[in-house]
Structure 1
Amino acid sequence: LYPDVYVGRLPCRNTLEVKIMVNKIINYEKNKADQSWFNKIVLVGGDSHDDRPYGYNYYEGELVCDKVMEYMTDFDPTKLYASNRDTGNGSTPTPKNITNAISEGCGFLLFDGHGNPASWNTHWPDVFNWKDTPGGIKIYDFPKLRNGKKLPVTLVGGCHNSMFNVSLLATVLDIPFMWTYGQPTPECWSWWLTRKIGGGSIATFGSTGLGYGYVGGPQDLNGDGIAEPACLEGLGGYMEILFFKTYSEGTHILGDVWGQTVSDYLDVFPGMDNKIDCKQVQEWAFFGDPTLLIGGY
Structure 2
Amino acid sequence: MVGPTASGKSEVALEVARARARGGDRPIEVVAVDAFTVYRGMDVGTAKPSPADRAEVPHHLIDVLDPSQELTVATFQGLARAAIADVLDRGATPLLVGGSGLYWRAVVDPLRFPPTDAEVRADIEARWADDPAGAHAHLAAVDPPAADRIGPGNLRRTVRALEVLELTGERFSAFDDAWSRYAAIYPGLEVAYLEPPAEELRERIRARADGMVDGGLLAEAAALRTAGPLSRTARQAIGYAEAFAILDGEADADELATTIAHRTWRYARRQRGWFRADLRCQPPSDARTAVTSMR
TM range (shorter): 0.3 to 0.5
Greater helix percent: which structure?
A: 2
Which of these two proteins has the greater Rg computed from alpha carbons? 2
By relative contact order (CA 8 Å, sep 6+), the higher-ranking structure is: 2
Greater strand percent: which structure?
A: 1
The TM-score, its normalising length taken from structure 1, stands at: 0.34
